[in-house]
Structure 1
Amino acid sequence: MYEDRETESIWVTTPEDLPTSTNTRGEALAALKVVQDAPKDAPLRIICSSRRLITDLTVRLSRWEDKGWIGIADAQLLRTLVNHLRQRCAPTILSTPESPQEQQRAQRATDLAAEQLRTGHPNQVPMATNPSFNLSGAKMSSLTQSTAYRGIRLAKRPQNRRGTERRIKDVLKHLVDAGTPNTSEAAIWRSLRNKDLHKKTTDFLWKSLHGTHRIGDFWDNIPGYEDRGRCAICNVLETMEHILVNCKAKGRAEVWTLTKALWKRKKQPWKQPKMEDILASGMGLYPTRGGSKRREHLSRLWRIIIPEVAYLIWKLRCERVIAHAEDDDWQHASRAIT
């Protein structure tokens, strides 16, 4: 943020090397700060480094308010900014740089923001609002069933599942160790909705992240069924990681061998996926040589085959353990697995 005393304009900008969402949030925070500090009866011109914030406060605003801000990123911040803008009684202009001089000043503001980001300490911007200038709720005429459902889900605070949190942390740590830092928990959950994934594999990965399959220690609290929690072949606790990565029953190793042969046909290095790789397979983070850049068509292939392979191994296990539970030592034939 840079205040130009000569033109009585406020420059709102953030460093260009930040992600787009961070840039937008930074511009909204800077705009909120100057609106709070400026006299309400003094004309104000806010010059933004991009048109994103301008579009948010003009074109998109009425639509977002009609739906009650349900599902809008940074809704609280933007609603606070709109609240303070509506308290002003003098004109407020939002624009981008319009002349070479303004472009230079915009660049200066960007440099100052980057310098402050590297060397300074962030200041807290108060988020208090005036209730008289708030629009609450959503318009019935604009409300759809899906939007209402999302609003209900957002209003209900979800309970944290310790097992889910532990698995997510394990996946994030594994990705950092594998050379993929700065991956967020939200990115992992979003990857499950990738259009390359079949719904059945999406459900399988979602349940695996939450640990809701009826295996392993699920049976410990059911008297008389404790033995179902152990793998009949390996005689160890039957976790999903054991089923997909370590089990000695016929099917798992054979399927991974076939998968390796398929992947090697793309002349790409192969590394046996760990459980964390399988849970994050929707992100398409296939093994690379020396940290080379990943290619989208290979990422898409990885997103398709790894979840499908994991789901196939799970189905083979279920057929062996459930469908043939009465058949002693029954296992799949190699030809049937292939």
Structure 2
Amino acid sequence: MLAALVAVRLLPRNTPVLVVSGRDLIIKNLKSAPTWEDRGWVETRNKDVLIALMSELRARTAKTSFCESKGGQYALGCAQAQALASEAAQRNNADAINVTARPETVLRGAKLSKLTQSTAYKLIKSLREKVSRKATDEVVKLVQSTVKQLYLYMPTTTMVWKSTRHKDITRQIRSFLWRCLHSSLRIGKYWKHIPECKDRELCPTCGVTEDLDHIMVQCNRPGQAEVWKLAEKLWLKKGHTWPAPTVGATLGCRLATFKVDGRKSQADARLYTILMTESAHLIW
């Protein structure tokens, strides 16, 4: 869709254009676009690019056609486009592409005849300013970097939050994980500015700030090390290596991937999730 957007912008508006794609994704999205537009683009993926593309197409005066081709007369062009795409995917920095739509060709809001209570509520929520929480953002980034290091892919922020509400995790532990991600546990620096509770900031055993990382994996007090050893002993029976327990690995445990005979194993991922969350909550 980005390639189509750049193409129609570069060419004169009165020049007929044929956009050829090796997949029918653009065609499907353009066919669905009027319906999404009527609903205010609620929960539409890549909506910024799609809105900009729709805007440019409406501003054109010549015919613009789209077709899917996996060979034939367009085989050479598709192969060259694929080679360019593969080359671009290896870059460290992405190109900055303007996806701002033309205001005169974009409809704002949603059609009243297509509006439901659910759609209206989602639109209202989307208009609210997102509050940035520094502590929460740091924890989420920690989970993302840990998952990338251990399982070689970068989960989105939404994936991180959804993983903590999975059905394999009990309600009580979901609440605990939610508080961990928000750094809202009453430990460590939480007590620093409360005069009569300043002594609670430090671990009574180790004498250092009692943050979540210290409680889960560093504290010398009997308990946490024994719990992780038992969890590791059970996990090793599945034939997988044991990822060192950290805060990032614990909070992102549902995002872990394990393969058996070259295929992803949902059963092993479920066991790992249960082991990590139950062990972390028991230590807490």
Q: TM-score, normalised by structure 2?
A: 0.82
Q: CA deviation at 1:42?
A: 3.5
Contact 1:197 1:282 survives alignment (8 Å)? no
SS in 2 for 1:237: coil
- 2:203 counterpart letter in structure 1: C
- 1:62 counterpart letter in structure 2: P
Q: In the TM superposition, what whole-angstrom CA distance separates every residue of 1:168-212 from its partner, at most 9, and x where no partner exists? A: 344444445x45444145243343344433343333223212211
Q: CA deviation at 1:306?
A: 0.7
Q: CA deviation at 1:85?
A: 0.9
Name the structure with the higher helix share.
2
- 2:127 counterpart letter in structure 1: A
Q: CA deviation at 1:137?
A: 0.6
Rounded Cα–Cα distance in structure 2 between residues aligned with 1:101 and 1:125: 30
Residues 172, 100 of structure 1: CA spacing in aligned structure 2 closer, same or farther, 3 A cutoff? same
Rounded Cα–Cα distance in structure 2 between residues aligned with 1:270 and 1:122: 35
Rounded Cα–Cα distance in structure 2 between residues aligned with 1:175 and 1:215: 25
Q: Which has the higher contact order (CA 8 A, sep 6+)?
A: 2
Q: CA deviation at 1:283?
A: 0.8
Q: In the TM superposition, what whole-angstrom CA distance separates every residue of 1:72-111 from its partner, at most 9, and x where no partner exists? A: 2221111011011112233322110176222343223322
- 1:129 counterpart letter in structure 2: A
Root-mean-square deviation over aligned CA pairs: 3.2
Contact 1:54 1:95 survives alignment (8 Å)? yes
| Higher-Rg member (1/2) | 1
Rounded Cα–Cα distance in structure 1 between residues aligned with 2:206 and 2:95: 57
Rounded Cα–Cα distance in structure 2 between residues aligned with 1:37 and 1:64: 26
Tell whether 2:179 aligns with 1:207.
yes
Gaps of 5+ in 2: none
Q: In the TM superposition, what whole-angstrom CA distance separates every residue of 1:250-272 from its partner, at most 9, and x where no partner exists? A: 54334323322321332333354
Q: 1:162 aligns with which of 116, 120, 134?
A: 134
Tell whether 2:279 aligns with 1:309.
yes
Q: 2:154 aligns with which of 183, 188, 195?
A: 183
- 2:270 counterpart letter in structure 1: R
Q: In the TM superposition, what whole-angstrom CA distance separates every residue of 1:107-130 from its partner, at most 9, and x where no partner exists? A: 2332244356668x9765444433
Moved more, 227-236 or 79-88: 227-236
What is the total number of aligned residue pairs between the two structures?
282
Residue in 2 that maps onto 1:101: 73
Q: TM-score, normalised by structure 1?
A: 0.71
Residues 117, 230 of structure 1: CA spacing in aligned structure 2 closer, same or farther, 3 A cutoff? closer
Tell whether 2:270 aligns with 1:297.
no
Tell whether 2:35 aligns with 1:63.
yes
Rounded Cα–Cα distance in structure 1 between residues aligned with 2:205 and 2:70: 73
Q: In the TM superposition, what whole-angstrom CA distance separates every residue of 1:4-60 from its partner, at most 9, and x where no partner exists? A: xxxxxxxxxxxxxxxxxxxxxxxx1111122223333333221111111110110x2
Residues 82, 212 of structure 1: CA spacing in aligned structure 2 closer, same or farther, 3 A cutoff? same
Q: CA deviation at 1:285?
A: 4.8
1:112-123 matches, within 5 Å, as 112-115=84-87
Residue in 1 that maps onto 2:10: 37
SS in 2 for 1:89: coil
